[in-house]
Structure 1
Amino acid sequence: MMWSRRLCATVLVLGVFGVLATAEPTLVDTRIEQLQTRDGSGIEVEYGFLVVPENRLDPKSRDIRLAYIRTRSGNAPAGASPLVMIAGGPGGSSIDLVEGFVGGGGERLISMIGRDVIGIDQRGVGRSEPNLESDVLFGLDPSAPGDPEQMLLKMRAVCAQQAQAMGESGIDLRGYTSVQSADDFDDARRAMGYEKLVLWGGSYGSHLAMATIRRHGAHIERALLTGPEGPDHTLKLPSQMQTVLERIADLAKRDKGLGMPDLLGTLGSVLERADAEPISVEVDGEAVGISGFDIRRAVFHRMYTVRDGIVTIPAFVARLADGDFEPLARELMKEREEEGVWSMMAMVMDAASGASEARRARIEQELDQALLGDVMNFPTDSIGDALGAPDLGASYRGVLESDVPMLFIVGDLDAMTPVSNAKALMEHMPNAQLVVVEHVAHNDLPLGMPELFPIWSGFIAGKSVQSKTISAPAPSFEPIVKAKADRATPVADVASAPEFDVSLLIGRYDLGRAGTLEVRTGASGVLEASIGDEAPQRVRAVSEHELEWIGSDQRLELRVDRGGTVKRAFYFNGSRRIIAQKR
């Protein structure tokens, strides 16, 4: 049964944009350290804390400390605006981001950018004090098929308990919003002595960057926003997931060697059966329940990246269609045992940003047209009141009009922050440009790509760029391993000649330590194969690009491009997979 979203109200904070004036921001406990770089050299960096009010709306608010890192550029012109890197999540560490960025590029990168580089761990995150991370678990039952309403009962109860416990310890969760974080950046600017900032944020980091531009646009020189999440984009549209799923299905269909001509139809059939009758699978002696909601969520989780996720979706769906649910059951068992609060900051930030009534209405309208429904919003939109999260209101989510120069970079397989986000935002941003990278998802923008690197680095350095589309390599899908029952061969077919053109399959393959595999046509016209000095065994062609051993779990599969050239080959022996190099 499709989850029907529960729209839970959060606590409305009146006058949220009338943030109270504060004392002059202060930097404390500053120190200089050497940061080791990948090339073995070291770069001097400054660490310290920025002292800010925990809740600027409360005159009696206590102070908290935000940890920061700053690298100095030796060739930056006088008065140059620093680059402020903003981590996503919410919940990511900007200090870790800067250490990785600067440590990977070294002095050469700092010199090329020509700016100081700053990372501030947002309130409640990383090395900032307090840190609102939590190891409290939701206590979900692995044996129960995923039911969002039942899961929410436990999630909301745990969140409420955590919110109460943090309140009793002196933490004011009402201060953990993107508005307060945006003001933190301006406090840092003033404390560090800069006139303007250059912002770089990805995903939620772009959401926070735009909140900063809305409140302090006069002090923002430019902004690089990868995977943009606008003011009213916190909750995702079912249609944006469906659009990317259709794109993946089209890529899978074009991969003639994959054997998945109708990914959406196959997934739809799997979901229909699971919605009608949930599945129970035994894993290591314990029952694991699987529902259609669980399958939707599992597919969604695979859409964050291309290299580790999207390329596995056709094989994952094929396995479920064949009735093999054990790998998913193991995945769900681990997920339910480990799922918990993780970060109260992340939950409160997203709940506070929320969504407009128009956005919510559109989500409801699109539910029936999207295979995944709106699992991507679970449980974000249903726990705000349990957390006591503030509601930033309609003015926060309204259209952002800005003439700040911006560069959006988005992958065309990004289902979380799709190209449509950037295009909608650009309607009110006359100085914004858009670079679309084909075959790239949310978490794997190839910033080091030769065609992309000079674009974003040039923009940060102050150069003008133009909108364009560039292409990364198309995904290479994980081979589909058919169920044993599908590979069973009647005895009468053993001696028959192949019904396909098997010329691509015939030849010798290097299996590394496993030896050399040879596929040939025997005297009677049937296919046979041998590895090393083993006696030849009968094999059967399943297609022009795949053959299987008669009576065993061995299989050979070729990956062929559109021109018919063998790009890769895989030899399977049971669950073991070996890359086969054709000689």
Structure 2
Amino acid sequence: MKSQLIFLLCFSIAIQHLFAQKLEITPTTFTSKSGKEVTAEVGTIAVPENRKNPNAAMIPIHFIKLKSTNPNGKTPTFYLEGGPGSSCTWQASNPAYLENWLPYLELGDVVLVDQRGTGAETERTLFIWQKELPKNLFVHAEDAQKHFNNMSQEALKVYKDRGVDLQGYTTIENANDLDALRQALGYTKISLFGFSYGTHLGQTYMKYYPDSVENAVLIGVEGFNDTFKLPLAMDMQLHKIALLSNNDPTINKQVPDLVALYEKVIRKIKEKPVELEITSALTGAPLKVRVGSYGLNVILRIDIGDASDIPVLPRLLYSIDQGDYSLLQWFVQKRHQRVYGIHGMAITMDAASGASPSRLARIEAENKKSLFKNVINPSNVKNWPIPDLGEDFRTPLATDIRTLFLSGTLDFNTPPYQAEQVRWGYSNSQHIIVQNAGHEQIVYHPEAQETILRFLKGETVNDVTMSYPPIQFIPLTGTSEDLWHPSLGDE
């Protein structure tokens, strides 16, 4: 027995030494919008870039631990940002965002985690295209695909020179990183707070580390088999917005049928693409771009699930039909930076999660009917090293972990039915659907924070209903004292 105790003691010391070598922490403080100081630790933990490779490079995972104000604080909350490819540690140094985390610190620590290849480590898997853009990049899907393929091949050469092992950029490796951090920080269990792709990661962590999770809050849910979107879901979103627009007295006199207007506009700019001048996101110089039906659909793909942009969509289509391209120019300016780069982490994470054969078949079938078939899913990258996680990964999860799902009725990216499909295997869950919320608006509902806090305290929240006011559309012309959108400038 004594020898066993000595062995366990030595093993424990060895493990602590190992983590001491891998974990680096710097104490600091941050100040919230209300002036409250938050004690924190800024840190990194070194992890293998590819755990299947014994000679893998060690890469840092950056995190910020916001310390609880409760001396008897319980389960810490790990925040998992969306993307994949988005950082979240910046929220600690942003007073307004930090203010949002203060109530959670009354429960326990909050850990903001930058997933591998994000935040300060984005440069490792980021490639910037320095050459001239193709003339018809926003006109034809084929030109966009060719440009994407060219960028990807250049990017792979750069990654090789950097020693990047893309085989390690999977959601399972992300989950392994989370658990390494959990252990290094000395937590027995954690609560997960995931948004969008962060819900995909959260479910993965629950699948592979079920004994380490106390609670989970999943907002805008992407299941294991939901990474590749269903094309007709976007058609449905357009029809839903059209129903609202067609019944709006400020819109329906001039546009009685929004879908008909969309189809008219698409035909118009497909036959005669428009030339716009924007400012290059790369050089800051004036840049002339041609925009056709493909480019407009790309814009709609990005913004049709965001309730902050939905109110201006009828005006966008109407203005194009009238020969006014100022709103289209604003949207192209806002979104065109995407064509300048390849984020290897984001591409590989999504490709690795992939889709089942049955879902791929359904996507192919829906593409034949959809108005948006060329823009729904990420482009296929030729010769990209994809570490497919396989059907075992995509198998639905059955769990009794306490889980709160939140969805928005106007969220095209992660519609409520996805959460319900995932929830089928969750024996201890609740689902709140926020009326009139888009993808980005769910968590910002005035009652969302209080509801999440109640849930994390162990309460049931079946009594909660949340709703935003119905969408109010921007008038098709002129200005309104009550309604405004940044695309309108100072009008």
Q: Match for residue 290 of structure 2? A: 289
The answer (yes or no) to whether the contact 1:402–1:430 under 8 Å persists in 2 is yes
Any idea what SS the aligned residue of 1:85 has?
strand
Matches within 5 A, 1:108-147: 108-111=103-106, 114-128=107-121, 131-136=124-129, 139-143=132-136, 146-147=139-140
Q: Which residue type is aligned with residue 473 of structure 2?
A: F
- Give the whole-Å Cα distance in 2 for the aligned partners of 1:376 and 1:56: 32
CA deviations on 1:423-481 (whole Å, 9 max, x unpaired) are 111111121211111111111225351x3332112112332222764211122211102
Rounded to whole Å, the distance in 1 between the matches of 2:303 and 2:102 is 36
Which one of the candidate residues 128, 141, 156 is aligned to 1:148? Answer: 141
1:253 counterpart residue number: 246
User: Structure 1 104/287 Cα, relative in aligned 2: closer, same or farther at 3 Å?
Assistant: closer
The answer for the alignment partner of 2:303 in structure 1 is 302
Deviation at 1:387, TM superposition (A): 3.1
- Which residue in 2 is equivalent to 1:422? 419
The amino acid of 1:200's aligned partner reads: F
Structure 1 residue 237 displacement after superposition: 0.9
Q: Are the counterparts in 1 of residues 75 and 190 from structure 2 also a CA contact under 8 Å? A: yes
Q: Does 1:72 align with 2:61?
A: no
Q: Distance in 2 between matches of 1:47 and 1:53?
A: 20
Please say if 1:88 is aligned against 2:91. Answer: no
Per-residue deviation, residues 275-318 of structure 1 (Å, max 9, x unmatched): 4x2424364998643322222112222224212x1111111111
Match of 2:473 in 1: 477
Report the Cα offset of residue 105 of structure 1. 3.9
Match in the other structure for 1:159: 152
Superposition map of 1:229-248 within 5 A: 229-248=222-241
Pairing 1:361–2:371 present: no
Shift, 1:57, TM fit = 0.5
Does 320-329 or 59-68 show the bigger shift?
Answer: 320-329
Distance 2:463 2:357 in 1: 32
Report the equivalent of 1:39: 34
**Separation (CA, whole Å) in 2 of partners of 1:407 and 1:60:** 40
Aligned-residue RMSD, C-alpha: 2.9
Q: Alignment partner of 2:227: what SS?
A: coil
1:455 equivalent to 2:443? Answer: no
Give me the whole-angstrom Cα distance separating, in 1, the residues matched to 2:261 and 2:40: 53
Contact 1:304 1:442 in 2 (8 A): yes
- In structure 2, what residue type is equivalent to 1:244? Q
CA contact (8 A) 1:288 1:333 kept: no
Residue pair 1:90, 1:349 contacting (<8 A) in 2 also:
yes
Q: Deviations over 1:12-51 (max 9, x none)?
A: xxxxxxxxxxx95454331110111111121110111112
TM-score normalised by L of structure 1: 0.73
**CA offset at residue 131 of structure 1?**
3.9
Paired with 2:163 and 2:357, the residues of 1 have a C-alpha distance of 33
Distance in 2, Cα, partners of 1:190 & 1:314? 51
What percent of counterpart residues are identical? 27
Q: Give the Å deviation of 1:320.
A: 2.2
Q: Could you tell me how far 1:397 is from its partner in structure 2?
A: 1.6
> C-alpha displacement at 1:81, in angstroms?
2.0
The CA distance in 1 between the partners of 2:337 and 2:467, in whole Å, is 40
User: TM-score, length-normalised on structure 2?
Assistant: 0.86
Counterpart of 2:437? 440
* Structure 2 partner of 1:322: 322
Q: 1:73 to 1:219 in 2, by over 3 A?
A: same
Deviation at 1:69, TM superposition (A): 0.9
Match of 2:398 among 375, 389, 401: 401
| Deviation (angstroms), 1:143 | 4.8
- Over 3 Å counting, the alpha-carbon distance change for 1:417 and 1:29 in structure 2 is same
- Indicate the structure (1 or 2) with the bigger Cα radius of gyration: 1
CA distance in 1, matches of 2:453, 2:419: 19
- What do residues 118-144 of structure 1 show as CA deviations (whole Å, max 9, x unaligned)? 112111111348743333357432456
Contact 1:85–1:200 (8 Å) recurs in 2: yes
- Matched residue type, 1:408: F
Equivalent residue for 2:428? 431
Partner of 2:344: 344
Higher strand share: 1
Verify the 8 A CA contact 2:139 2:273 in the aligned structure 1: no
> Cα deviation per residue 1:240-290 (whole Å; 9 max; x = unaligned)?
212222221111122112233211121122224444x24243649986433
**Secondary structure class of the residue paired with 2:139:** coil
Q: Secondary structure at the match of 2:414?
A: coil
Q: How does 1:364-403 map to 2 (within 5 A)?
A: 364-379=364-379, 382-383=380-381, 385-403=382-400
Provide the C-alpha distance between the structure 1 equivalents of 2:374 and 2:458, rounded to a whole number of angstroms.
Answer: 40
1:266 is aligned to 261
Deviations 1:535-556 (A, max 9, x none): xxxxxxxxxxxxxxxxxxxx6x
Question: Counterpart amino acid of 1:293?
Answer: Y
Q: Partners of 1:377 and 1:162 in 2: how far apart?
A: 20
For 1:29, what is the secondary structure of its paired residue?
strand
- Whether 1:48 aligns to 2:43 is yes
Equivalent pair of 2:356/2:394 in contact (CA under 8 Å) = yes
* SS of the residue 2:223 aligns to: coil
Question: 1:544: which partner in 2?
Answer: none
Q: Which residue of structure 2 lines up, in the alignment, with residue 178 of structure 1?
A: 171
Structure 1 residue 207, shift from structure 2 partner: 0.8
- State how far apart, in whole Å, the 2-side matches of 1:576 and 1:175 are: 44
Counting matched residue pairs gives 462
Partner SS, residue 262 of structure 2 = helix
- Structure 2 gap ranges (5+): 1-16, 279-285
Q: Secondary structure at the match of 2:216?
A: strand
Residues 304 and 416 in structure 1, CA contact (< 8 A), matched pair in contact too = yes
Distance in 2 (CA, whole Å) between partners of 1:96 and 1:458 is: 26
Q: What is the letter of the counterpart of residue 364 of structure 1?
A: E
